[in-house]
Amino acid sequence: MTDIKTLLRPGCATLAPLAGYSDVAFRRLCRDFGADLTVTEMVSVAGLNYKSKKTVALLRTAPNETPSCAQLFGSMPEQFARATTHPEVAKFDILDINMGCPVRKVFGHGEGSALMLDPERAAAIVKALKTGGKPVTVKMRLGVKDSAGAVDFAKRMEDAGADLITVHGRTREQLYSGEADWDAIRRIADSVSVPVLGNGDVDENNIEERKQGVYGVAIGRGAVADPQIFSGSRKLTRYEVICRHLAYGEEYFGERYAVTALRSFIPFYLKGVPDIKRIRNAAMVCKDKESLLEVLKEADF
């Protein structure tokens, strides 16, 4: 089995998986700007077992995604084991398990962050995914209600065979409110021997500071707001970034879908722009590339 440290360097900056955002077009964009790893949106192992076309579509990869990583979610170890044999999963270099999603529907099914309440099941899932012969990583939170059991949970995942752990510095109940607890993240990093990536509130102003005491960082919303965060400099204007993002979306999904998908990014891309409300509202109703770009040209980036 490949050593995860040969795939990810110390001090790495990766794109965290983001449902509704980290599709193949955005991942390709982040790789252009230097992301060391990009992770798919979370993919249901149940959907793979049922041969859902929508689920399989989430596993498309870009030419520059090397190494590649797919994030899987579910609650049944046997479904994770079967997923390793799926041809669209087998092509990935790294397999990640979602043990951090706080969304009520996911949590209610015993998936995502709910697995932190059942360490035995979570460990069984890690072991099941390891049968695929690929490095297995875990993305977790500090806990459900508090962080009291976070270190023990991380150790349990390491003992089960996890090769790397990504820790979001909030509990499930916090969702994305308050500040990420990086002291708690570093306590976990100090307690396990596998690499730990810290996640939560990473931006261009603190990225180097956040890397201290952990193996690297996983950037989510900070990358949505500024995909060039991975490069350490801005060689393109925000308008040029949007044009490239839209071009990739059109290549993979067609113009209409690409324009619709980009709407989720518009509030982030326009942050700090004068007259943002008017421009955002106009952009949100555009149905084709030409009209969208015409509206965005008005923005004073």
E-only strand ranges, 101-252 = 136-140, 164-168, 196-199, 216-219
Q: How far is Cα 26 from Cα 223, in angstroms, rounded to an integer?
A: 10
CA 288 to chain CA centroid, nearest Å: 28
Q: Please confirm, yes or no, whether 30 is among the known catalytic residues.
A: no
| 245 annotated ligand-binding residue | no
| 212 annotated ligand-binding residue | no
CA angle centred on 286, ends 296 and 15, rounded to 5°? 65
CA-closest candidate to residue 168, choices 220, 226, 224, 95: 220
Alpha carbon separation from 7 to 18, 78, 93, 134, 145 (Å, rounded):
21, 27, 9, 12, 34
| 168 annotated ligand-binding residue | yes
Q: How far apart are the first and last CA of the chain?
A: 46
- Catalytic residue, candidates 69, 101, 243, 286: 101
φ/ψ of residue 13, rounded to 5: -125, 115
| 71 annotated ligand-binding residue | yes
Six-digit token string for 90: 């087998």
| 220 annotated ligand-binding residue | yes
CA 3 to chain CA centroid, nearest Å: 21
Question: Which helix (H) or strand (E) segment is 28 a member of?
Answer: helix 24-32
Helix axes 276-284, 289-296, angle to 10 degrees: 180
Classify 138 as helix, strand or coil. strand
Strands 43-44 and 37-38: unpaired
Q: What is the CA radius of gyration of the chain?
A: 19
Q: Which residues are catalytically annotated? A: 101
Annotated binding-site residues read: 71, 139, 168, 220-221
Annotated binding-site residues for FMN read: 71, 139, 168, 220-221
